[in-house]
Structure 1
Amino acid sequence: MKINQLRYFVAVADCGSVRAAATALGVSAAAISQALRELETTLATPLLKREAHGTVPTHAGAQLLVHARLILGQVGRAEEELAQIRGRSGGALTIGVTPWIAQSILPHALARFHALRPGVHLDVTEAVGATHKSLRDGTLDLVIAMSPPPSIATHFDARELFRCDLAVVGRLGHPFAACTSFQQLVDQDWVLTLRGESRDQPLIELLAPYGISPPPHRVHHARSALVAISMLEVGDMLTICPWPLLETPLLRGRVQALPIREQLPEMRTAIIVRRNDTLSALSQLFIDCFEEAARKCADSEDPALKRIMRSVDLLPQA
């Protein structure tokens, strides 16, 4: 397999056609088609197929796509580091962060990082849940979010930084705002950003110990914390979120925690990277900037930051 073959293959899978991939890459469609034929011949299996909505990977192609993204990502990081050694600026860093981190420590970390590497292109996305699929497939360089569960932990190296409690949350004036037990919430609707491999697995794991098993039509999902908040404010849905997020300007004064007596499991936030992957110099620099920013935020006199950081425990580091 050649790097260009993999690059063309990924482009066709992402763009949905050879013609669109050729336009995106600035090469001829004939060059891409020939490279793909050679790649399929080398691997002795079809990698792409045409469907009504465009060209899509076959089953074998989907498996190769994961590895191709990782390989191209590693090559790209090597090229960036060599360019930095030669004194050139530039490069790119893709990061996923959990919402409470985005509303507290992240802006300070990014400001420090950008001051040190102003030529680096930053791509930051919200990371919800704990499966971290975008990290596994190479879309992201690193994630600062919920620690991965034991079932997939072998794919990652995770260094836990914070521990915090979870809360059941509804809009201000929610009709069940005074409820003190999960048993009073049996027939409620839920909106969650915590998504697992199956549609409602996180909710089952969180609520099953309390005797609650909501049917699928009562479990709704939001792709971001901001969407979840909007869904809460105009209805009577409930959600589960980490306490530090409640203390951020994004939520404070807009929603409230229910005084549930039962203790929900704690949430741990970690810096997560792919196992056995070489960490780029940019990734390591950002991690250093983030840890420095976390220490400063913990000692900050800013009222909003103080409320957030008091709601988490900093875990000891080896």
Structure 2
Amino acid sequence: MMTTRSCHLGTPMKLHQLQALIASAETGSIRGAARSLNLSQAAVTKALRELETAQQLPLFVRTPSGLNFTEYGKVLLTHARLVLKQLEHAQAELDQLRGKNSGRLCVGVTPWIALTLLPEVVLEFRQRMPEVRLELFESLMAVAQPLLRDGSMDFAIGQLHPSQAPQDFSCETLLDYQTSVLVRQGHARQDARSIHELLDQQWTLNYAPDGHDALMQDLFWRHGAQIDERRIVRAHSLAILQMLVEHADMCTWGPTIMSTAPPFLGRLVSLQLEEQFEPRHLSIVTRCNVALSNPALCFTDCLLQVIRRHARSARKEDRALFETVRLRV
């Protein structure tokens, strides 16, 4: 005979309950969730209570400052976001079959693409799919990876280290690009010729939560260099990293192309060090086993068209831009 407990655990979750859960997480409170869903607080509270009762697990704890999710709640929240994202994809594909492109597309874009080619890509995409709501993130992978994992982001255009790729993500490589140590124009160590001459400097770097060792290996350890990691400030945005390099005299490491990108031309210097760094890969990064939606495929096609157009260009600016880049597609 089935027990009462097993009956409860078998109760299917309902869409409005998952929507209430996600809205509560995003707004931090039941009041905020009710406002974003255009429901009463009583309706949101009921949906969350039903969800907890059905699972017989505490999903969150109410505090004076809002809601804190338990480990059970965090796990369910990740899956709830993925469910809603798949439903969005289904709706978008049905709309396309009806002859109407709609829905939402969330894309993470690595900074050097954002600073060079992104405006053209967006304009081309808007011409093809004007009904799609587009949301763009600055895709430093530390920012992009959690959003990819929980389904908030459809895909990212960026660099994923090979040691991370097999775990949760799939990559389609578009091009390879060179990297170098970058400092501001006029930096005291601008003429340095070895990474060992820079170990006493202050650094600012960006890396994903599981990317620390890979970055340290590529930048320092494989060259026999050991740095006091208290000298490293971990920056989670390009704006912070840029300010620290230009106004706090910090060293950083990134795409060589950044020194020739219009916003940084004449402001950043790529150091000519004797150490050679492995080329990085610009890829379309997605969650494993998740097919791209039609809007996502359209956006990636626009990106490829723009990249190829500039790579074939005879303009001086484009030649400088693609001097340290090699196309794969």
For Structure 1 versus Structure 2, the TM-score category normalised by the shorter chain is over 0.9
218, 226, 242: which one pairs with 2:255?
A: 242
Cα offsets for 1:55-94 (capped at 9, x unmatched): 0211110111111111111111212222232334532111
| CA deviations over 1:76-113 (Å, ceiling 9, x no partner) | 12122222323345321110011111122322221111
Letter in 1 for 2:317: A
Residues 190 and 237 of structure 1 are in contact (CA less than 8 Å); yes or no, is this contact kept in structure 2?
Answer: yes
Q: Find the counterpart in structure 2 of residue 291 from structure 1.
A: 304
2:199 maps to 186
Other structure's SS at 1:169 match: strand
What corresponds to 2:108 in structure 1?
Answer: 96
2:264 corresponds in structure 1 to 251
2:95 alignment partner in structure 1 = 83
Alignment partner for residue 209 of structure 2, among 196, 199, 215? 196
1:208 aligns with 2:226: no
Counterpart CA distance in 1 for 2:305 and 2:263 is 24
Q: CA deviation at 1:214?
A: 2.6
Aligned partner (choices 298, 317, 323) of residue 304 of structure 1: 317
Find out whether 1:154 has 2:167 as its counterpart. yes
Unaligned ranges ≥5, structure 1: none
Query: C-alpha displacement at 1:198, in angstroms?
Result: 6.9
Please give the residue correspondences for 1:57-136 in structure 2 after superposition, counting only pairs within 5 Å. Answer: 57-129=69-141, 132-136=145-149
**Paired-residue identity, %:** 34
- Between the aligned partners of 1:26 and 1:129, the Cα distance in structure 2 is 34
Cα distance in 1 between the residues matched to 2:110 and 2:194: 28
Where in structure 2 are there 5+ consecutive unaligned residues? 1-12
Please state whether the residue corresponding to 2:314 is helix, strand or coil: coil
Deviates more, 1:111-120 or 1:83-92: 83-92
How far apart, CA to CA, are the structure 2 residues paired with 1:72 and 1:158?
Answer: 23
- Say whether residues 1:227 and 2:231 are aligned partners: no
Aligned-pair RMSD on alpha carbons?
Answer: 1.9
Offset at residue 12 of structure 1 (A): 0.7
Where 1:133 maps in the other structure, the secondary structure is helix
Q: Aligned residues, how many?
A: 316
In the TM superposition, residue 167 of structure 1 has moved relative to its aligned partner by 0.6
In the TM superposition, what is the alpha-carbon distance from 1:196 to its structure 2 partner? 3.2
**Deviation for aligned residue 1:189:** 0.7
Q: Which amino acid aligns with 2:258?
A: L
Matches of 2:96 and 2:141, distance apart in 1: 34
Aligned mates of 2:164, 2:126 — CA distance in 1: 36
Using the size of structure 2 for normalisation, the TM-score is 0.90
Mean alpha-carbon deviation: is it higher for 76-85 or for 18-27?
76-85
Q: Aligned equivalents of 2:73 and 2:111: distance in 1?
A: 34
Counterpart selection for 2:42 from 19, 26, 30: 30
Is residue 206–residue 265 contact of structure 1 (8 Å, CA) maintained in 2?
no
| Aligned CA distance change for structure 1 residues 50 and 205 (closer, same or farther; 3 Å) | farther
Cα pair 1:195 1:202 within 8 Å, conserved = no
Could you tell me which amino acid in structure 1 is paired with residue 125 of structure 2?
A: F
SS of residue paired to 1:177:
coil
Specify the code of the residue in structure 2 equivalent to 1:71: V
CA 1:223/1:302 → structure 2, altered by over 3 Å: closer, same or farther?
A: farther
Q: CA deviation at 1:37?
A: 1.4
Structure 1: distance between partners of 2:101 and 2:199: 56
* Partner in structure 1 of residue 22 of structure 2: 10
Query: Contact 2:106/2:152 (CA < 8 Å) preserved in 1?
Result: yes
Secondary structure at the counterpart of residue 310 of structure 1: coil
